[in-house]
Chains A and B, each alone.
Chain A
């Protein structure tokens, strides 16, 4: 039974320009001690979905439906206190390394001990030692605890955020684009730290990113989202090497492979739909080179095959042929009716 089971999660945003259906079909699983990548481009709803798992959503967001089952209990439709009780004890969060994920007027150490004492029930002394332990664990000099967030570099802020997330031995850590803003060397070092702590502590991680290479480097399984819907999920190898949804094929094509000779990259023409008025049928149809009449009429369900590889495409049984076709850039360039 998976640690986290999300089925048909739907979230809307009330905005000036009308209701934005940010997430329409959030369906994914995270097993125990497993690293799951949640991948998609900007605006696909991956951050909304990931943050919603903590129950903390912006003022103008509302849960429209679905279920979030954590350790067997549906926290979304259950008593709110039960969900809040899990926060940081069972589920914790690593933010994108924006400057103000840490409170600028408090020392970093103080913010660490705050959560240890208030949510971990630790005394002052116990919290202090645990805090030093956590700093050392993520490769930060414990003496840095007395400094303020603006005195930390990007890499150090992310390490502090990881330490804070692991403070109370959570079962699930949700990391929202944790390394996106970092340089490639620091990014690799932080990912290595995250990966080896994950395996050592046996914690599950849901890693949100737009970078397929980060998924390939760190994740056991991957979930692909497009225009508010989960359109494919499975083991990283299966999804990257034998994608069953044309969007995943296009996405993997668009990532240049440093070691392979540089073939021409194939862009996906057009742009994602406006989620205030999502199109009928499959939302990728307008940009999909393999779209058929049926794709524009009916929304394809998320079907799972024998070894757990799910995809939402009417032609996923012809995936092997389509994938081969998708490797040739001309399939995509013919599609470019209007410039990208």
Chain B
């Protein structure tokens, strides 16, 4: 664990960060071995006496019971982990990569490029997030990559603005000027001096963006625009909501998916608090 923490450049003694990383590791393992742990989430199940195994409460056979259409909730939950991470990691990776690059370029070079990129950021921030994702999902079809595309197109400005302001301060630092005097090219200065010093900040926004992406995917699926071919936690909740799981009080159906989302997203927040301590050490003592 300590070596993993160091690899992620996280403080080893921060309890929240450790909890966060542990949750990630557990869920990643579940996602990797999903096929082993769970059976086919869409398979329609029947009881011994042949009728539909609908709305069965949790039992040994079905640890989390079954849906109103007789499907195993536990399997859906496990398979759902995979799509949560798929969306979460890809969208977070794309958002942070785009945000960091824009932040770097506009912060370091300034001038017209900076103005244009920042106006683009304002425009992206001017588009209402969920409505845009909904419209995009409706037009381009409810596939996962459309959700990732929408998240990337709209969420990069937050990261870009923060990275840009950090680059603006770094650019005036003594060691950057020293590098210029030592004859280093702009490219080398960015690679050796600027990028490593903003890395914790982009990792901070990365861990937050994973949470955001999973929440967004869940909301889209809940609104009925999510992919129908694959299982996701949001989809499960939409399924439960639509089939009166609330009024029937079948908590075993709509609580677990929500809890899984909470755990994964809060893990991202806990880890980001770890980075925050690095970036703003004043908060430590």
A and B touch in the complex (CB under 8 A): yes
B284 at the interface (CB under 8 A from A): yes
B285 at the interface (CB under 8 A from A): yes
Residues facing B in A41-70 (CB within 8 A) are: 60
**Nearest opposing residue in chain A for B284, CB measure:** A16
A15 at the interface (CB under 8 A from B): yes
In Å, the complex CA distance between A60 and B284 comes to: 12
Residues facing A in B264-285 (CB within 8 A) are: 284-285
In Å, the complex CA distance between A16 and B285 comes to: 7
Residues facing B in A1-17 (CB within 8 A) are: 14-16
Task: List chain B residues, Cβ under 8 A from A16.
Answer: 284-285
In Å, the complex CA distance between A16 and B11 comes to: 13
* Total contacting residues, chain A, CB less than 8 A: 4
Judged by DSSP, the binding face of B is: loop
A1-36 contact mask (Cβ, 8 Å, vs B): 1 or 0: 000000000000011100000000000000000000
In Å, the complex CA distance between A60 and B285 comes to: 8
Tell me how far the C-beta of A195 lies from the nearest C-beta in chain B, rounded to whole angstroms. 37
Tell me how far the C-beta of A189 lies from the nearest C-beta in chain B, rounded to whole angstroms. 31
Tell me how far the C-beta of A59 lies from the nearest C-beta in chain B, rounded to whole angstroms. 8
Tell me how far the C-beta of B282 lies from the nearest C-beta in chain A, rounded to whole angstroms. 12
In Å, the complex CA distance between A14 and B284 comes to: 12
In Å, the complex CA distance between A63 and B271 comes to: 37
In Å, the complex CA distance between A15 and B285 comes to: 7
In Å, the complex CA distance between A16 and B282 comes to: 12
Task: List chain B residues, Cβ under 8 A from A60.
Answer: 285
**Nearest opposing residue in chain B for A60, CB measure:** B285
A170-187 contact mask (Cβ, 8 Å, vs B): 1 or 0: 000000000000000000
Residues facing A in B239-285 (CB within 8 A) are: 284-285
Task: List chain A residues, Cβ under 8 A from B285.
Answer: 14-16, 60
In Å, the complex CA distance between A16 and B284 comes to: 9
In Å, the complex CA distance between A60 and B282 comes to: 13
Task: List chain A residues, Cβ under 8 A from B284.
Answer: 16
Tell me how far the C-beta of A61 lies from the nearest C-beta in chain B, rounded to whole angstroms. 11
Task: List chain B residues, Cβ under 8 A from A15.
Answer: 285
Tell me how far the C-beta of A281 lies from the nearest C-beta in chain B, rounded to whole angstroms. 31
Task: List chain B residues, Cβ under 8 A from A14.
Answer: 285
Tell me how far the C-beta of B166 lies from the nearest C-beta in chain A, rounded to whole angstroms. 21
On B, residues with C-beta under 8 Å from A are: 284-285
5 cross-chain CB contacts under 8 A: A14-B285, A15-B285, A16-B284, A16-B285, A60-B285
Leading 5 A-B pairs by shortest Cβ distance: A60-B285, A16-B285, A15-B285, A16-B284, A14-B285
